[in-house]
Amino acid sequence: MESMKRRTKPRRRTSGAGRRRVLVVSVSAGAGHLRAAQAVEEALAERHPDCEVLNVDAMEHVPAAFRRVYAKGYLDLVNRAPMLWGCIYSRTEKSESTALTARLNRLMERLNSRRLVKVARDFAPDEVLAVHPLPMDVFNREKRRGRLAARVSVVITDFDVHPLWIDPASDRYFASCQEVAHRLALRGVNAARVTVSGIPVVPEFAREVSPRRRAEVRRELGLRQGRPAVLVSAGGFGVGRVAEAVGLMAAAAARAGGADMVVVAGRNRKLREKVAALRAPRGVRIFPLGFVNNMHELTAVADLMVSKPGGLTSSECLARGLPMLILDPIPGQEERNAAFLLEGGAAWQAATLDGLDYKLGRLLSEPARLAAMRKAAARLARPDACYRIAAALAAP
């Protein structure tokens, strides 16, 4: 849940001609796409300061009605009718459904993307990086019509690849893992156009948090020495059955000998208030937080993350070697993310809330198992993904 900075004006870093211009375009349908875009922008600023970068949220450059349908509609669907979303996701993976969905998407984008296209024309980029299928479609359409000379690259932000991510006009794909690269090849993407970079997380996750700073963070939070720290994330928008889950987990932690629980409620004020109102059993402390800018530090002092497996959240945990206990993955892409983590040994999954109670108790009672999961997470990690992508964008 790192801060999601979005710029609508280019940040000029050097003077003179010949600067390489990179347009990074995300979509605020969930926080993950914005965080991935931010990660690449920060990596370019750090390692390639001669580049001129414009990072935009496509939803800020479309009509309000389209924004409500496209972004807010998605969030409402996955929160209120996740099984319906899962059905849509799986049905549109079939070739005939994908073709129809793509045509509908292109029609919607053609009617609503004029302002976004104008942003690109005014900026005149050498590179366009799409962190969502919508801007990929928009700018590939411009390429086909000869109105965009830039290369179009795509960052796949889950450990799965839906056909809507694939467009023959895309010049380059940054894949989250080897399996995604393999599946791209099966769908006709030339292997030379695919880089297995990992999902980009902000550069702080590629840097160690010093022992001194870890101790400071623990003191600031009020965490006790000798007690496991469980980090619970509700995502940037504070969704899911978090308050109910925290109550059950607190009871399980008490039976396992106690723990400190840090609960990040995101932008959901009501959720934070609900968590704050919970009565912690003996041996357990609950620390409710709102939206935070130091997830790279919270993940460094935690022993376990309990969360939905969004692509960015999962990648942040892997970068810190932090085991996950997964609850309520969104059907579709998050279920595929969960499968990747489970196969790699970096996570457990609770199918139900009472299962969450049981599995948290098991993990807290078995530190050797948690240690093995930590090693597995570190093996899967690609904390330098943002730098690899930035280097590719900065190269002529």
The alpha carbons of the chain give a radius of gyration, in whole angstroms, of 21
Q: Both 287 and 181 in a single domain?
A: no
Q: Is residue 335 part of a domain?
A: yes
How many CB atoms neighbour CB 368 within 10 A?
Answer: 7
pLDDT of residue 105: 60
Q: In what order do the strands lie in the sheet with 21-26?
A: 52-57, 21-26, 127-130, 151-155, 172-175, 194-196
In a domain, 3, yes or no: no
List, in order, residues 6 or more apart from 176 with CB less than 8 Å away: 156, 157, 158, 159, 196, 197, 198, 199, 311, 315
Whether residues 195 and 290 share a domain: the answer is no
Q: Confirm whether 16 is domain-assigned.
A: no
Same domain, 103 and 72: yes
DSSP class per residue in 122-168: HH--SEEEESSHHHHHHHHHHHHTT---SEEEEE--SSS--GGG--T
The tokens describing 251, both together, are 């009871």
Asked if 85 and 105 sit in the same domain, the reply is yes
> Hunting for tokens 């900075």 — which residue is that?
5
Q: Looking at the structure, do residues 214 and 353 belong to the same domain, yes or no?
A: yes
State whether 194 and 309 are in the same domain: no
Report the CATH number at residue 224: 3.40.50.2000
The whole domain housing 275 covers 208-380
* Domain shared by 218 and 324, yes or no: yes
Q: Could you tell me the CA-to-CA distances from 344 to 76, 338, 369, 375 in Å, in that order?
A: 31, 10, 14, 10
pLDDT of residue 65: 81
Q: Are residues 260 and 193 in the same domain?
A: no
Phi, psi of 310 (to 5 degrees): -60, 155
Mean pLDDT for each 10-residue chunk of the chain (396 residues)?
A: 46 54 91 94 97 95 81 74 81 63 57 86 97 92 92 97 92 98 96 98 96 96 94 68 90 96 91 93 95 94 95 97 94 95 97 90 95 98 98 95
Domain count, the chain: 2
Q: Within this chain, do residues 67 and 104 fall inside the same structural domain, yes or no? A: yes
Q: At what angle do helices 32-47 and 311-319 cross, to 10 degrees?
A: 50
pTM assigned to the model = 0.89
In terms of domains, do 172 and 240 share one? no
CA dihedral 343, 382, 220, 366 (to 10 degrees): 30
Q: Is 119 helix (H, G, I), strand (E, B) or coil?
A: helix
Which helix (H) or strand (E) segment holds residue 300: the answer is helix 295-301
Does residue 161 lie in a domain region?
Answer: yes
CA 386 to chain centre: 13
In a domain, 4, yes or no: no
Same domain, 175 and 120: yes
Distance of CA 392 to the CA centre of its chain: 21
169's tokens: 């006009």
Same domain flag for 142 and 278 = no
Residue 231 pLDDT: 97
Per-residue model confidence (pLDDT) at position 309: 95
